[in-house]
């Protein structure tokens, strides 16, 4: 905890200790109150405090009654509400829609302390408690649901959260600029209904009060029944998330019109430094001590965030619609000062666990052009399928920062645990950073995200070809060996992404076998609101071309794809074999499932005799208990895919 720092009040008693009988704003959050810069509500609270406002916190209120929103009294100007660092539905349910047993953002990891769709529920309760007070709804959950959107958990399209929640203003993206301006104008006596020109905000209005100039996308009724219209609307929304080129977007909802103003300008380096220097206590509120604290802080307590935004533009990532594609970063001095602060924190043992952000090794904008002309539209990527000719590739400043952190008294190691863009690193002709990464900044395992290897799937993911990963992997192990270390890559992989067929999943399993990769953690594609991939999942269309995209939605098909990622697990044997039969890749059974013996039914018993054996072989049935593959369409030789039969028995 920084010297002299106090938590924001959470009770009337806290207010009395400060000599306050009234608050200016109440901050409501779906997470436990953790006053750390990795937690969005903590930043908003400290920003308001720095502007001179009296701010109190209601964390995970009782969502069965509006009385829980009155515990700090009626604020003078209104509520700022956020659903939590993680979307409440993702926090509550697995991709299989199974209720999770742990919520890491709740004291003790206890599940069920906030409602489903918490941003909506909290806003409605605040409105019930004080109907005359404005509610500004922000955070990830609101940001990604600001347009009419496909809801995976209900398997339907829902209207904008601005309409369903009743919020006066939606603050989307990183909300510092919006928060300061809205608070100033409310405190000056302006009504929320009159605050209609703040960048980075949305609001509901009627037809008569629409702005003079705007770009319209298909409305809720249209996109909920017409998938082509939904895909076209998605493209309009994605193409207007740049602060330079973004236009006002209007979308009709059930009972009014949503107006999205252009995105707020990213914070400058000086502004980011100011946010990082705010007086956070950097820990959970002491009222949670008896409950065991808040598990979510363990990953970030001794980590440093040095940047925002990501121009990687992966189609399954929500950063484009939330943080944006322009990268901004803190100064090296600011990051080093935070490193010095960490060395003085209770429990620090000499290890800075991470120096990263959305993408750890991005410090600069992708190109000079974007600063004046904005990011490229139409689905163009800076990194995929290959590097843009205008891409700035430079690790110099990041490396300098890491060197200064390593030199701090009391620091033993500085690790990088958030995502490294291995493609960006591979394309850097200067290997100095790569070498020092291997020598100093890997804690035994380096997590990277190739996600897949099949060309078709990677195309729909917006990822580079697997050959780039192969080149990176080869060089990583060469440098690791040269450094005399035992370090490993941990690849993140995803099954059932739109575009991924069962044949693609088999191709991936074959690739993993060849490269002796056994991923411990894999995931099914999770269709969360606000991504291009979710649009493809719902519509079956590429929003940039309107061409059909294969989408695996059946439980069996998804289970087979997922099992192939961990083909080596005995529990997956039956599914793997079934997938190989379905794709006519029986030639892989001895490799992926060695020793597998199919269960023989009465209808498919082993046959003997020359003639019977010939008939069985032609039909692809077992002969003497051994499956004889029928090499038809899609099998190894005819499929155009290599088979990786080892010359010696695999150990």
Residue among 532, 533, 466, 455 nearest 501 (CA) = 455
Separation CA 44–CA 176 (nearest Å):
7
Are 535 and 528 contacting, i.e. CB atoms less than 8 angstroms apart? no
Residue 414: which H helix or E strand, with range?
A: strand 413-414
Strand-strand pairing, 445-451 and 354-356: unpaired
How would DSSP label each residue in 296-363?
A: GGGGTTTEEE-EE--TT--TT-THHHHT-S--EE--HHHHHHHHHHHHTSTT--SEE-EEESSSTT--
Taking the alpha carbons of 554, 560, 565, 569 in that order, is the dihedral positive or negative?
Answer: positive
Alpha helices by DSSP H, 380-427: 396-406, 422-426
3-state secondary structure of 430: coil
Separation CA 81–CA 63 (nearest Å):
13
**Residue 279 to residues 36, 47, 587, 590, Cα–Cα distance (Å):** 9, 10, 62, 60
Q: What are phi and psi of 445, to 5 degrees?
A: -135, 140
Residue 88: which H helix or E strand, with range?
A: helix 88-92
Residue 141 DSSP class: H
Burial of 537 (0-12, 13-18, 19+ CB in 10 A): buried
Is 234 marked within a binding site? no
Separation CA 458–CA 362 (nearest Å):
22
CA dihedral of residues 214, 217, 218, 223 (deg, nearest 10): -150
Q: Please, what is the Cα angle at 547 between 541 and 552, to 5 degrees?
A: 45
Residue among 129, 23, 40 nearest 83 (CA) = 40
Residue among 358, 446, 438, 363 nearest 400 (CA) = 363
Separation CA 602–CA 608 (nearest Å):
15
Is 376 marked within a binding site? no
Separation CA 131–CA 115 (nearest Å):
21
3-state secondary structure of 465: coil
Is 382 marked within a binding site? no
Alpha helices by DSSP H, 432-531: 432-440, 455-461, 466-482, 502-514
Q: And the tokens for 633?
A: 């369409």
Separation CA 240–CA 365 (nearest Å):
18
**Residue 587 to residues 44, 503, 509, 517, 613, Cα–Cα distance (Å):** 58, 14, 13, 20, 19
Residues forming a β-bridge with 258: 204, 251
Separation CA 45–CA 41 (nearest Å):
6
Residue 140: which H helix or E strand, with range?
A: helix 140-144
Which residues does the annotation place in the binding site?
310, 314, 317
Which residues does the annotation place in the binding site for [4Fe-4S] cluster?
310, 314, 317
């Amino acid at each position: 905890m920084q010297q002299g720092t106090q938590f924001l009040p959470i009770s009337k008693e806290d207010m009395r200790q400060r000599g306050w009988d009234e608050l200016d704003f109440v901050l409501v959050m779906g997470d436990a109150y953790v006053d750390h810069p990795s937690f969005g509500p903590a930043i908003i609270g400290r920003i308001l405090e720095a502007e001179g406002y009296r701010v109190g916190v209601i964390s995970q209120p009782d969502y069965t009654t509006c009385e829980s929103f009155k515990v700090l009294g009626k604020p003078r100007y209104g509520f700022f509400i956020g659903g939590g660092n993680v979307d409440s539905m993702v926090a509550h349910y697995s991709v299989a829609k199974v209720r999770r047993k742990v919520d890491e953002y709740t004291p003790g990891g206890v599940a069920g302390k906030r409602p489903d769709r918490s941003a909506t529920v909290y806003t409605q309760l605040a409105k019930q408690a004080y109907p005359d007070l404005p509610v500004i709804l922000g955070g990830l959950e609101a940001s990604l649901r600001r347009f009419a959107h496909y809801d995976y958990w209900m398997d339907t399209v829902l209207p904008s959260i601005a309409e369903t929640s009743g919020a006066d203003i939606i603050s989307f993206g990183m909300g510092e600029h919006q928060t300061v301006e809205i608070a100033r104008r409310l405190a000056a006596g302006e009504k929320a209904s009159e605050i209609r020109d703040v960048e980075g905000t949305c609001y509901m209005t009627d037809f008569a009060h629409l702005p003079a100039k705007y770009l319209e996308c298909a409305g809720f009724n249209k996109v909920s029944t017409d998938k082509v219209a939904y895909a076209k609307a998605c493209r309009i929304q994605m193409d207007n998330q740049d602060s330079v080129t973004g236009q006002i977007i209007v979308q009709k909802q059930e009972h009014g019109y949503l107006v999205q103003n252009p995105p707020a300008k990213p914070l400058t380096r000086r502004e980011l430094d100011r946010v990082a220097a705010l007086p956070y206590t950097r820990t959970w509120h002491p009222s949670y001590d008896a409950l065991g604290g808040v598990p979510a802080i363990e990953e970030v307590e001794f980590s440093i965030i040095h940047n925002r935004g990501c121009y990687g533009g992966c189609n399954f990532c929500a950063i484009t619609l939330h943080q944006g594609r322009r990268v901004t970063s803190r100064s090296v001095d600011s990051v080093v000062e935070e490193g010095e602060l960490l060395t003085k924190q209770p429990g620090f043992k000499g290890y800075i666990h991470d120096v990263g952000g959305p993408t750890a090794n991005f410090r600069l904008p992708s190109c000079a052009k974007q600063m004046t002309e904005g990011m490229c539209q139409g689905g163009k990527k800076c990194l995929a399928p290959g590097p843009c000719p205008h891409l700035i590739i430079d690790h110099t400043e990041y490396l300098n920062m890491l060197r200064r952190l390593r030199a701090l008294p009391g620091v033993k190691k500085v690790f990088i645990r958030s995502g490294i863009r291995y493609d960006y690193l591979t394309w850097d002709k200067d290997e100095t950073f790569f070498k020092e990464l291997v020598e100093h900044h890997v804690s035994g395992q380096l997590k990277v995200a190739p996600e897949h290897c099949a060309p078709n799937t990677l195309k729909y993911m917006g990822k580079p070809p697997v050959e780039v990963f192969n080149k990176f992997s080869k060089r990583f192990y060469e440098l690791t060996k040269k450094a005399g270390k035992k370090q490993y890559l941990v690849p993140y992989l995803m099954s059932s992404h739109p575009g991924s067929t069962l044949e693609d999943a088999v191709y991936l399993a074959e690739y993993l076998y060849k490269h002796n990769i056994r991923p411990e953690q894999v995931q099914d594609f999770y269709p969360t609101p606000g991504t291009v991939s979710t649009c493809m999942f719902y519509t079956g269309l590429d929003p940039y071309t309107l061409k059909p995209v294969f989408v695996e939605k059946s439980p069996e098909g998804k289970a087979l794809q997922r099992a192939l990622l961990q083909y080596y697990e005995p529990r997956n044997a039956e599914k793997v074999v079934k997938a190989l039969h379905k794709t006519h890749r029986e030639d892989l059974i001895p490799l992926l499932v060695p020793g597998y013996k199919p269960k023989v039914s009465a209808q498919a018993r082993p046959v003997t005799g020359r003639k019977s054996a010939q008939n069985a072989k032609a039909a692809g049935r077992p002969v003497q208990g051994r499956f004889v593959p029928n090499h038809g369409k899609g099998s190894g030789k005819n499929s155009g895919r290599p088979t990786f039969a080892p010359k010696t028995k695999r150990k």
